[in-house]
Every structure is written in C-alpha cells, then in structure tokens.
Amino acid sequence: MVSFSSKLIRTLLVCGIALTVTSVDAQDRPPVDPAKVDALIDGMFTRVSPEWRARAVLDDTQRTCTDRRNQVSGAEAEAIQARERASVVLPPDGNFLGDWRKGFQVANNGRGFQFSDPAGTVAGGNCYACHQMSPKEVSFGTLGPSLAGYGRERNYDPELIRDAYIKIFNAQAAVACSNMPRFGSSKVLTIEQIKDVLAYLFDRQSPVNQP
C-alpha cells in the first residue's frame, strides 16, 4: 500500500498531476466505470471557481498517461515530451541561476493554492515533499530521487543547468508520465522562483552542494 501525505496530495492536485497509484494487482482491479469516477470527481468541485474546476479536467498528456497507467509507448512518450517542451519558457535574460537562499524558501514551502490561503499568497514548490536536497535537512520525502550534491556531481555544467531548468518548468518535457508537477507550465512557480530553486541545486555556495 502506498501512502501520501496530505501536503503531497495537495501539490499533485494543484499541479494537475493525476494520482495513479495502484495498491492492488491489475488483475484484482474492480470493474469501475470510468464515467462514474469522472462524475464523482466532478461533483466534488461544485463550489469552486471555473478556473479551479478546469484543473480537475485531464489534459491530453494526463489523459494518455492515465489511460496507459503511465506505461506509454516510445511514440506516445515522444509526442507528450514534444507537446510539454513547447510550453517551456526559458529565462528572457538567458541567465538561469537566481539566489539560492530564496531557492531554499521555494523548495521548503508547500503553501499556495489552498482555499484557505489569503489572496496573494506566494506558492512554493514543495520540492522537499519528494526530494532530499541539502544533506543537512532531516525532513524530506522519497518519491523523487535524492538531489543532494546535485550541482557538484554534475560539475556545475551549463548544459545540465539548462536541462534542469526545463525539467522543473515542465517535468513531463523530460519524462513523459513523470509524477513531478509541471511547475512553470501550470503557473505554480514564476520564472524567477525557478531560477532561485535552480540556484539552490547548482550554486557552489548552496547547502545542497556541501558535504
């Protein structure tokens, strides 16, 4: 049985990531009519704004990944990655690295997009819910790989900094049915916030790259 923290589930829902967790074997799966499931989910969001309602509707990428239970063919993966890559906006000034101290705030903040948030609440990326980052931090999730020493282990290579920017902006541009939210494309994080969290991964001074 896989269990998720409510913080994590919220991040997934906010970012429009479909939760496709199977706790039973495929053969044991009860015959549930998908239309009934869609209707049930639709009924849960009756008192929210149209913008929120729209987030419960799967887009083409989520539909394919859900239908295939994330086991997409090579051609489907390529089509998804090309579509998702098209939504990535690179930093206009060509500079990928922001301020790692602000990046820590982005990585460690799971607030934003909650009904109870005051207007204007700055959303975080909640990276620590899924990743180890600084080896000194004791609280982190393990759904994603450890990112401790990320920049150091990659020799602070500019090509890999660019790749990581694209990954964070739209995780599915890199891995078709990734469970990681599409932070830039879903407008959860701004370009500046992505640059800051990228600096948290790639700045030589960042705690992520200290022993």
Least separation in angstroms between residue 65's CB and ligand HEC is 12
Residues that bind ligand HEC (CB under 6 A): 8, 11-12, 107, 125-127, 129-131, 143-145, 147, 164, 167-168, 171, 175, 178-181, 183, 197
Q: Which is nearer to ligand HEC, 40 or 69 (CB)?
A: 69
Q: Which is nearer to ligand HEC, 43 or 64 (CB)?
A: 64
> 91: which residues sit within 8 A by CB, 6+ positions away?
165, 191, 195
Q: Which is nearer to ligand HEC, 36 or 64 (CB)?
A: 64
Least separation in angstroms between residue 175's CB and ligand HEC is 4
* Residue 58 to residues 17, 18, 163, Cα–Cα distance (Å): 9, 8, 26
Q: Which is nearer to ligand HEC, 38 or 157 (CB)?
A: 157
Least separation in angstroms between residue 173's CB and ligand HEC is 10
Least separation in angstroms between residue 150's CB and ligand HEC is 7
Least separation in angstroms between residue 33's CB and ligand HEC is 28
Q: Which is nearer to ligand HEC, 42 or 172 (CB)?
A: 172
